[in-house]
Amino acid sequence: MGTSGALRAFGAAVARRGPGWADGAAARGALDALTADAPGLGALDPALDDLVDACALTPTDRQVVAVALLAETHPVAHLLCGLLAGDGAAGLPTTALAVELAGASVLDPAAHGRFAPGAALRRAGLLRLVAAGTFATTRVGLVPRVVAHLLGRRDAAAEVRPLLTEAVPADVTGYAEVAAALAADEPLVWVHAPVGAAGTGLAVAACRELDVACVVVDLERVPAVAGSDGPARAALHDAVRAAQLEAVLGRCVLVLAGAHLPGPDLVRLVTDGAVPVVAVGGTVWDPRWAGPLPPTVTAGRLTLAQRAERWAAMTGPDVATADVVSLRMTPEEIVRVGRRARADAARDSRDVDVDDVRRTARRLGGAAGSRVRTQGTAATLDDLVLPDHTRREVERLVAWARHRDDVLALGDLHGKGGKGTGISALFSGSPGTGKTLAAHVVADTLGMDLFQVDLSSVVDKYIGETEKNLERVFRQAESLNAVLFFDEADALFGSRSAVTDAKDRYANQEVAYLLQRMEAAEGLTILATNLRGNLDPAFARRLHFMVHFPDPDVPTRRALWQHHLAQLPATDPEDPVDLDLLAETVEVCGGDIRNVVLAATYDAVTGGVPLGMRHVRAATEREIAKLGRRLTDPRW
């Protein structure tokens, strides 16, 4: 029975149930009016047939949908539904009325089962039920998005549009296994996507392999997902259901990024759905998440060559340099950053350059947490004035981070025995020797943000809370693909001691946790300490780099004075700064030299004159006094 047939059924039912609304003649007039309008509504039949085919509905299910559609789209049908349900006014049909108008008996047990949670109508997410206690009083309608789809609108629902991510394929390790699982009609495939892995791109490539469409939804964009309260869980559930409906209407595979957020609820949400789902999560599949074990795949990462090819396509070959290619991004992030960089350059009527890409990349990674440094001028390797052997070690650390994915692609050199694929380094040396600046240089050179740990927000007096806080810190830094920086690391990573009381035991427990977590880390971690000997010896094996920042010698001090003074546009030619005197007589570190130059600059600007040796001399004497020392050289 088509739409016009359903209209006639409405009219016949009104004629049978005449008392309570007008009379038989009026009911017949309503029937004639509906029949006259039927040709226009009959145009919806092809769309309805396509929906029935996509959801594998039975003929009776189709009629139920047609009844609900008429009540949603035809004003007279809406009125008739309310009247036949006993409302005396317009309204939605009851489930019993919908079944009866569809030509089935309300006494048939199958009629009740059509509205059960696992039935085809409910699995597809087409219906909205307004429960009222009984089969005869519960109202049934179509979800607004379904009505819009049947009326010809193809844009996604408003609640789904902010969550949609562009489908960018990536032929990385694992995509063939996902394609095989989908071809075998697996309802759920779990893809573990570590930091920087192309999990979503892998899923899209698998769908492309099978020549099927897909819709990609990122649950990380759902508001309030960071909490574990009821509203946050409800928001996630609603987002998954809305995404499933979009996939149903589009006859697509659903690729669900951020799938670890729903956690154990994901199994129920997915297995109750009507479309296959490729769930991309930042964690491995947890066997406690009930239900049958799904096929699982670990996503690979783009190699440097693959990244170079994609950057060249987005920004041109001249921009796809080592500094850009080393940015550890997924295919989707490369597209987002490339488009934004091109738009920024086009606004200034110029070609996109490396700085555009790096600046945009930092904006992409710095969206969470006040501890993430995203503002300020980027530091470069040229800002490091260090002895040659120290500088070479910092450059080697940057090179390791740049080429890590290529090394991982060669074999399982990382990650065996529970070890992570991260890189860890220790910077040790006296205060002011450049340890913190070097950490900033590493982050900026790699186009990453620096996640500096605030010890006051991590250390907790309650047993076990410090470990929980540290776990959150590690996870957030890994999820942001940021450099995790522990300044004054000996406060957390101190040597374990003999246990004489409960306090010692729990202090040792925190260090033991850090040892394990450092070994399982996936990101880039830098520790800085003034007292290397205070660190637990067991950390040495977990560290890939141990870089010592020595106190500067005379040539290094001279280079430091010259570097900081070079930041000024000019100095006083009549009172030149004596770099040799400063380097030979003032035994301070780079941080102290920076403070002297800054103070001298303020004095010069206040006096309205260029900076000269007199300003530097006065500022140096104040800085030395602040350090509790005196200048004894007679030349001073």
Q: How far is CA 74 from the centre of its chain?
A: 43
The residue segments making up the domain with residue 52 are: 3-150
Within this chain, do residues 182 and 316 fall inside the same structural domain, yes or no?
A: no
Question: CATH code at 506?
Answer: 3.40.50.300
| Tens-place pLDDT, residues 273-305 | 788 999 998 888 888 887 778 999 999 888 888
298, 320, 346 - which closes a domain: 298
Q: Cα–Cα distances in Å, from 548 out to 96, 173, 388, 401, 551?
A: 79, 38, 12, 19, 10
Type of residue found at 462 = Y
Contact (CB, 8 A) for 394 and 387: no
Within this chain, do residues 225 and 331 fall inside the same structural domain, yes or no?
A: no
Within this chain, do residues 82 and 220 fall inside the same structural domain, yes or no?
A: no
Which has more pLDDT, 632 or 250? 250
Residue listed under structure tokens 């007096």: 461
At residue 452, does pLDDT exceed 50? Answer: yes
At residue 26, does pLDDT exceed 60? Answer: no
Question: Nearest CA to 425 among 547, 607, 340, 573?
Answer: 547
Ranges 242-251, 329-338, 347-356, 481-490, most confident: 242-251
Q: What angle do CA 158, 163, 166 make, to 5 degrees?
A: 115
Contact (CB, 8 A) for 102 and 145: no
Within this chain, do residues 246 and 351 fall inside the same structural domain, yes or no?
A: no
Type of residue found at 463 = I
pLDDT, residue 155, reads: 85
> Dihedral sign, CA of 411, 412, 413, 415?
positive
CA–CA separation, 251 and 254 (whole Å): 9
Within this chain, do residues 514 and 594 fall inside the same structural domain, yes or no?
A: no
Asked if the structure places residue 375 within a domain, the reply is no
Which has more pLDDT, 457 or 550? 550
Question: Nearest CA to 610 among 568, 579, 580?
Answer: 568
Asked if the structure places residue 29 within a domain, the reply is yes
Within this chain, do residues 13 and 32 fall inside the same structural domain, yes or no?
A: yes
**In a 3-state reduction of DSSP, which class is residue 138?**
coil
298, 331, 354 - which closes a domain: 298
CA–CA separation, 550 and 547 (whole Å): 10
| Tens-place pLDDT, residues 585-597 | 988 999 899 999 9
Number of domains in the chain: 5
Average pLDDT on 496-509 reads 48
Q: Where are the alpha helices (DSSP H) in 484-529?
A: 502-520
Which of 58-72, 224-238, 412-426 shows the lowest mean pLDDT across its residues? 224-238
Asked if the structure places residue 402 within a domain, the reply is no
Asked if the structure places residue 634 within a domain, the reply is no
User: Which residues are paired to 217 by β-bridges?
Assistant: 164, 256
CA atoms within 13 Å, Cβ hemisphere of 588: 25
Type of residue found at 608 = G
At residue 347, does pLDDT exceed 50? Answer: yes
Asked if the structure places residue 292 within a domain, the reply is yes
Burial of 139-150, coded b for 16+ CB within 10 Å and e otherwise, reads: bbbbbebbbebb
Within this chain, do residues 233 and 313 fall inside the same structural domain, yes or no?
A: no
Within this chain, do residues 95 and 241 fall inside the same structural domain, yes or no?
A: no
Asked if the structure places residue 463 within a domain, the reply is yes
Ranges 20-34, 239-253, 505-519, most confident: 239-253
Within this chain, do residues 180 and 312 fall inside the same structural domain, yes or no?
A: no
C-beta neighbour count of 462 within 10 angstroms? 7
pTM of the shown model = 0.68
pLDDT, residue 494, reads: 54
- What does DSSP say about strands 372-373 and 423-429: parallel, antiparallel, or unpaired? unpaired
pLDDT, residue 365, reads: 54
CA–CA separation, 219 and 200 (whole Å): 12
**In a 3-state reduction of DSSP, which class is residue 253?**
strand
Asked if the structure places residue 408 within a domain, the reply is no
Which has more pLDDT, 115 or 507? 115
At residue 35, does pLDDT exceed 50? Answer: no
| Tens-place pLDDT, residues 547-602 | 999 999 999 999 999 999 999 998 999 999 999 999 999 889 998 999 999 999 99
Percent over 90 (pLDDT), the chain: 22
Within this chain, do residues 281 and 313 fall inside the same structural domain, yes or no?
A: no
Within this chain, do residues 245 and 125 fall inside the same structural domain, yes or no?
A: no
Asked if the structure places residue 348 within a domain, the reply is yes
268, 298, 328 - which closes a domain: 298
pLDDT, residue 31, reads: 36
Q: Cα–Cα distances in Å, from 341 out to 161, 311, 314, 354, 402?
A: 23, 11, 9, 9, 21
439 contact partners, CB below 8 Å, separation of at least 6: 427, 450, 483, 485, 526, 528
| Tens-place pLDDT, residues 95-131 | 888 887 777 888 888 888 888 877 888 888 888 888 7
- What does DSSP say about strands 450-452 and 372-373: parallel, antiparallel, or unpaired? antiparallel
Within this chain, do residues 317 and 281 fall inside the same structural domain, yes or no?
A: no
Question: Nearest CA to 240 among 269, 265, 198, 279?
Answer: 269
Name the average pLDDT for the chain. 79
Long-range contacts of 219-224 (CB under 8 A, 24+ apart): 219/163, 219/256, 219/257, 219/258, 219/259, 219/261, 219/262, 220/257, 220/258, 220/261, 221/162, 221/163, 221/258, 222/163, 222/258, 222/261
User: Which residues are paired to 94 by β-bridges?
Assistant: 139
pLDDT, residue 359, reads: 76
User: Which residues are paired to 256 by β-bridges?
Assistant: 217, 279
At residue 193, does pLDDT exceed 70? Answer: yes
